[in-house]
């Protein structure tokens, strides 16, 4: 089993539900965070022998053929072996390099790259930027090293908070405690909605009244779709404590220039494709406000967005839920 | 009136029998705009739509719909059946247009004995 496959297997360990922390990591991290930036390259006119020397010196199994940042091909170890066997090791790379390349883009989530390693048999992928220039190379070793480093940080963080996050004893709605986080990837319509539905099922299992559960689920779903459609991916979290559900959607996306406008019925920046999926009618945020007892949204152009919804799950001992309150803040 | 009774009387193709197949329907919503569906504050709705996508089923589950009927005889992506099965949402299909399906349902509800 190669490293990429084992990474994928780890995502499906135990009861086939991937670790939330791991999922969040591989969706949050980008290829550019993990790739090796110092790429040893050769050019089209250099002999294959030169490529072989680079491989030996660097301890790598493939060399990109690039000139002035433009990628033209790859020379891999099997290419070199064939060159020795057939006697053309001094031919220029351009005549025998692989030109049907599979590349990654530096903005892609790491999750995407991991799937590529599972799908193709390559040990490494060249990484291009938006201008299609070679900016790095990504190997399975890079991924494993980065994941271990990030997971170690996550474990430390969880350990430092473990005392504060212990749930109180089970009881009624006001004794209930639950904290879940769900990564949401950009334009991942295959999975969009799963987080909201998991939140819904958890609340139903806890015997929360179905009409209240629907309000929470609708808010979570609208915010989840917003993350999917408008951000570069983010995290949806659900905290249930003190008899209320708090849904938070946060992202590091482009931000909302005018929140007041975005909260108006019928205003939307969604494109035709999003609309063809039944969304983008500009009713998302107004609908979130409608179902929320408390709604807060903060955003800054280029600085991401954070939306928070609170829904009271029951009536307190004084017979009153908290007063609805809606606010928005935008730094423009 | 339940999804099961509707399927029996109309002959609409049942692709998935969900957990609410025999639960009484309290409202029928016909829309291709999932944003509209999310605004409806009603339990046990039956959703009619010409949109053939997995998101229809996820939306249906979020609002607690009893089932989804895809109209216009649209070919469904194979993923829809597996998603509907996973979510436990009933999935039906009819060749009727959305308008014709609404008319047929309206007639059936009118003729149904009052509870």
pLDDT 10s digits, A1-52? 344 444 444 444 444 555 666 777 787 788 988 999 989 999 999 999 999 9
Write out residues 212-231 of A within 8 Å (CB-CB) of B: 213-214, 217-218, 221-222
Pick the closest to residue A65 from A37, A39, A85, A87 (CA basis).
A39
pLDDT tens digits, residue range B21-42?
Answer: 999 999 999 999 888 899 888 8
- Identity of the residue in A214, A277, A283 whose CB atom sits nearest the CB atom of B63: A214
- A282 pLDDT more than 80: no
Question: Domain containing B76: what range?
Answer: 3-111
pLDDT band with cut points at 50, 70 and 90 for residue A162 = low
- CATH 3.30.565.10 boundaries in chain A: 167-330
What was the ipTM of the complex prediction?
Answer: 0.84
- A264 pLDDT more than 60: yes
Whole-number average pLDDT of chain A: 80
Least confident of A150-159, A174-183, A207-216, B89-98: A150-159
The model's pTM: 0.58
CA distance B67 to B19: 9
**What percent of chain B has a predicted confidence (pLDDT) above 90?**
73
pLDDT band with cut points at 50, 70 and 90 for residue B11 = very high
- A161 pLDDT more than 50: yes
Most confident range (mean pLDDT) of A22-26, A259-263, B44-48 is: B44-48
Count of CB pairs separated by less than 8 Å, A with B = 71
- Beta-carbon separation of A283 and B34 below 8 A: no
- CATH 3.10.580.10 boundaries in chain A: 3-145
Spell out which residues of chain A touch residue B62, defining contact as CB-CB under 8 Å: 193, 196-197, 200, 214, 217-218, 221
Q: Which residue has the higher pLDDT, A307 or A264?
A: A307
- Identity of the residue in B55, B62, B64 whose CB atom sits nearest the CB atom of A189: B55
Write out residues 149-208 of A within 8 Å (CB-CB) of B: 189-190, 192-194, 196-197, 200
Spell out which residues of chain B touch residue A222, defining contact as CB-CB under 8 Å: 38
- A206 pLDDT more than 90: no
Spell out which residues of chain B touch residue A210, defining contact as CB-CB under 8 Å: 43, 64
Write out residues 287-306 of A within 8 Å (CB-CB) of B: 287, 290
CA distance A292 to A313: 11
A3-145 folds as CBS-domain (3.10.580)
* A218: closest CA of chain B, how far (Å): 6
Best of A267, A278, A288 to disrupt the B interface by mutation (most B CBs within 10 Å)? A278
- Beta-carbon separation of A277 and B41 below 8 A: no
- A204 pLDDT more than 60: yes
- Identity of the residue in A192, A214, A283 whose CB atom sits nearest the CB atom of B35: A283
The pLDDT of residue A92 is 95
- Identity of the residue in A193, A277, A279 whose CB atom sits nearest the CB atom of B62: A193
**Count of alpha carbons within 13 Å of A331, Cβ hemisphere only?**
9
The pLDDT of residue A171 is 57
The pLDDT of residue A20 is 64
Give the CATH number, domain containing residue B9: 3.40.1390.20
B85-102: average pLDDT:
95
**What percent of chain B has a predicted confidence (pLDDT) above 70?**
98
Q: Which residue has the higher pLDDT, A93 or A111?
A: A93
Q: Can you list the pairs that A299-303 forms with residues at least 24 positions away whose Cβ atoms lie under 8 Å?
A: A299/A255, A299/A256, A299/A259, A299/A329, A299/A330, A299/A331, A300/A255, A300/A330, A300/A331, A300/A332, A301/A254, A301/A255, A301/A256, A301/A257, A301/A331, A301/A332, A302/A254, A302/A255, A303/A252, A303/A255, A303/A331
Best of B20, B33, B43, B58 to disrupt the A interface by mutation (most A CBs within 10 Å)? B58
- A332 pLDDT more than 80: no
**Total count of domains within chain B:** 1
Spell out which residues of chain B touch residue A188, defining contact as CB-CB under 8 Å: none
- State in words which class domain A167-330 has: alpha beta
Whole-number average pLDDT of chain B: 92
The pLDDT of residue A173 is 66
**What percent of chain A has a predicted confidence (pLDDT) above 70?**
76
- A280 pLDDT more than 70: no
């Amino acid at each position: 089993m190669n490293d990429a496959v084992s990474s994928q297997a780890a995502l499906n360990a135990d009861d086939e539900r991937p670790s939330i922390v791991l999922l969040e990591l591989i969706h949050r991290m980008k290829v550019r965070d993990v790739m090796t930036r110092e790429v040893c390259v050769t050019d089209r006119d250099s002999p294959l022998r030169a490529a072989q020397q680079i491989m030996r010196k660097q301890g790598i199994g493939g060399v990109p053929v690039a000139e002035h940042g433009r990628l033209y091909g790859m020379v891999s170890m099997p290419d070199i072996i064939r060159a020795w066997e057939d006697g053309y090791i001094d031919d220029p790379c351009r005549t025998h390099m692989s030109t049907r390349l599979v590349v990654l883009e530096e903005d892609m989530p790491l999750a995407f790259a991991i799937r590529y390693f599972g799908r193709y048999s390559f040990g490494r992928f060249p990484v291009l930027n938006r201008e299609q220039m070679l900016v790095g190379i990504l190997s399975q070793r890079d991924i494993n090293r980065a994941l271990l480093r990030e997971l170690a940080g996550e474990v430390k963080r969880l350990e430092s908070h473990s005392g504060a996050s212990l749930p109180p004893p089970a009881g009624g709605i006001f004794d209930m405690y639950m904290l879940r986080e769900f990564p949401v990837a950009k334009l991942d319509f295959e999975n969009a909605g799963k987080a909201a539905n998991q939140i819904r099922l958890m609340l139903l299992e806890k015997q929360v009244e179905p009409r209240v559960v629907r309000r929470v689920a609708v808010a979570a779903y609208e915010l989840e779709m917003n993350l999917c459609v408008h951000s570069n991916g983010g995290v949806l979290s659900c905290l249930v404590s003190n008899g209320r559900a708090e849904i938070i959607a946060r992202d590091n996306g482009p931000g909302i220039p005018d929140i007041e406008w975005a909260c108006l019925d019928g205003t939307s920046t969604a494109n035709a494709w999003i609309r063809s999926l039944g969304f983008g009618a500009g009713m998302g945020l107004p609908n979130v406000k409608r179902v929320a007892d408390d709604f807060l949204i903060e955003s800054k152009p280029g600085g991401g967005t954070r939306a928070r919804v609170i829904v009271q799950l029951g009536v307190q001992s004084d017979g009153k839920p908290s007063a609805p309150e809606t606010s928005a803040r935008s730094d423009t | 009136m339940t999804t099961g009774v509707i399927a029996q009387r109309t002959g609409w193709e049942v692709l998935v029998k969900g957990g609410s197949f025999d639960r009484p329907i309290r409202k029928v919503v016909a829309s291709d705009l999932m944003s509209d569906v999310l605004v409806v504050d009603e339990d046990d709705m039956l959703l009619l739509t010409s949109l053939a996508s997995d998101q229809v089923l996820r939306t249906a589950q979020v609002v607690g719909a009893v089932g989804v009927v895809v109209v216009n005889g649209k070919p469904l992506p194979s993923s829809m059946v597996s998603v509907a099965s996973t979510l436990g949402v009933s999935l039906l299909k009819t060749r009727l247009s959305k308008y014709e399906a609404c008319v047929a349902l309206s007639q059936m509800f009118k003729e149904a004995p009052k509870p």
